[in-house]
Structure 1
Amino acid sequence: MRAPRHFARDQRQQATSAEDVLWRALRGRRLHGMKFKRQVPVLVYTVDFLCAEHRLVIELDGRQHAWHDVYDARRTEEIERCGYAVLRFRNEEVLTGLEAVLQRIADAAGLAR
């Protein structure tokens, strides 16, 4: 098994189109000055996006996640026990409604958009 840091680096190089779209909107403190990192190890997991300052994790789910509901629920629960809020979006939501996704992220961080 690869170390979490190496796995995260591999994941950054294999981003989905939805991850690319959301990353372009979040990177460089573009959303209310919030600093996001992508594909970050948290516990034994690698999360899609993390804003440490606001203790916020963003996860994007493709179609395959419908088969992993129990795993995703346990993963979310463990991450939330560490003090993070976890927001999940379907890839389709990001690709067709980016502004609404960004608004939900800002709301979760307690910021107005």
Structure 2
Amino acid sequence: MKIKTKLPEKVLQRSRNLRKNATPQEIIIWSRIKNRNFKKLKFRRQYQLGKYIVDFICLEKKLIIELDGWQHSEQENYDLERTNYLERQGFKVIRIWNEEINSNLDGVFLKLEEFL
């Protein structure tokens, strides 16, 4: 039996807000992975793990997809701390630059396949 824990309202609101205000690149990736469209795997978006909300997660494969834009070059320490935490929880984290999605979407999905 799976037990669901209720998330604090603040966290739920933040997740909902992130989903409503998705970047163009998040919309592109989500359109390709939702409804088990990618390798028949179930992905969730803007999912909370600990104190972090990840862009996309496949719990079955313990895979997290994080999309990075220009602002991420300014927060390298935070991203490193976050990635270390997620990896300690047993997840594989793949980071994809928005520009990579814009210029080489097929290559992005080849990279994702390698992680599986």
**TM-score by structure 1 length?**
0.92
Where relative contact order (Cα < 8 A, 6+ residues apart) is larger, the structure is: 1
Determine the structure 1 residue equivalent to 2:92.
85
Runs of 4+ in 1 over 4 A off after TM superposition: none
Contact 1:57 1:85 in 2 (8 A): yes
Aligned length in residues = 109
What whole-Å deviation, never above 9, does each CA across 1:51-73 have from its counterpart, x for those lacking one?
Answer: 00000000001101000001100
Return the offset for 1:3.
2.3
Determine the structure 2 residue equivalent to 1:19.
26
Amino acid at match of 2:11: P
Q: Which has the larger radius of gyration?
A: 2
Q: Secondary structure at the match of 1:3?
A: helix
* Separation in structure 2 between the aligned mates of residue 96 and residue 46 of structure 1, nearest angstrom: 26
What whole-Å deviation, never above 9, does each CA across 1:55-105 have from its counterpart, x for those lacking one?
Answer: 000000110100000110010000100000000001111121111111111
Unaligned 5+ residue runs, structure 2?
1-7
What whole-Å deviation, never above 9, does each CA across 1:12-33 have from its counterpart, x for those lacking one?
Answer: 0000000001111111111110
Unaligned 5+ residue runs, structure 1?
none
* Separation in structure 1 between the aligned mates of residue 75 and residue 53 of structure 2, nearest angstrom: 16
